[in-house]
Structure 1
Amino acid sequence: MSDGVQESAVTSIRSWVLTANVRPLVESLAALVDYAVDGWDWDAIETGLSGTDADDPHGWYDYPLIGTTATLHLKLANDPGSLVTTVQVRHALDEVLTARIETTLSMLARYQVIA
């Protein structure tokens, strides 16, 4: 990884969320690391996510959330023909942060958030 974290000190979580929940996902993950998401972030993610394909190893969109408490490396890809977006989140090993990310992903996979 480019931020100097040794590979052995990194964890990765892979799951999916309802595509309608991608924005709430990004906002929720950003809040976990004290990163202020703005319109520029969302424009970049929305544009980058269009045309992605979870079945294509090169068809994913990468986006870092560099917060004051941690950095999350997001990889996002749509699952064409479905209502879900596949998500991978990599971060420095932190059991509490991992549990929070897993909880967020689990909720956004099951329930559509109305914002």
Structure 2
Amino acid sequence: MSDSVQASASTSTHSWVLTANVRPLVESLAALVDYEADGWDWDAIETGLSSTDADDPHGWYDYPLIGATATLRLELANDPGSLITTVQVHHAPDELLKARIETIMSMLARYQVIA
């Protein structure tokens, strides 16, 4: 991970979402920081996430969203045997950004998004 991504990631927000909502999560977080997520991003995340395990400290997938207004570093891991994906979003210490991230994750943990 580049120094610029790590430097902006001084705090984190941790939660989980329904696995079916990982793509809407990534797209929503990308929109927060003015990053244009595309099919390449999703292909990388989907491939990287396929071999993850939330119970393994080394079994997480790490992906940056380097936007025009901020940088987010996502850590994602599936919870084997369940329908959830655990998520950590590392971000700058910005209370408004943190609240928005928490709101997105809360919604995507409760309701399945149909796209």
Q: What's the CA shift for 1:6?
A: 7.1
Give the number of aligned pairs.
Answer: 113
1:5 counterpart residue number: 7
CA distance in 2, matches of 1:29, 1:104: 8
- Counting aligned pairs with the same residue, the percent is 80
TM-score by length of 2: 0.95
TM-score w.r.t. length of structure 1: 0.95
Find the counterpart in structure 2 of residue 30 from structure 1. Answer: 30
**Unpaired segments of 5 or more residues in structure 2?**
none
Secondary structure of the residue aligned to 2:47 is helix
Partner residue, 1:43: 43
Q: Is the 8 A contact 2:8 2:91 kept in 1?
A: no
Alignment of 1:61-76 (within 5 A): 61-76=61-76
CA displacement 1:53-109 (0-9 Å, x = unmatched): 000000000000000000000000000000000000001111100000000000000
- Consecutive aligned runs of 4 or more in structure 1 exceeding 2 Å deviation: 4-7
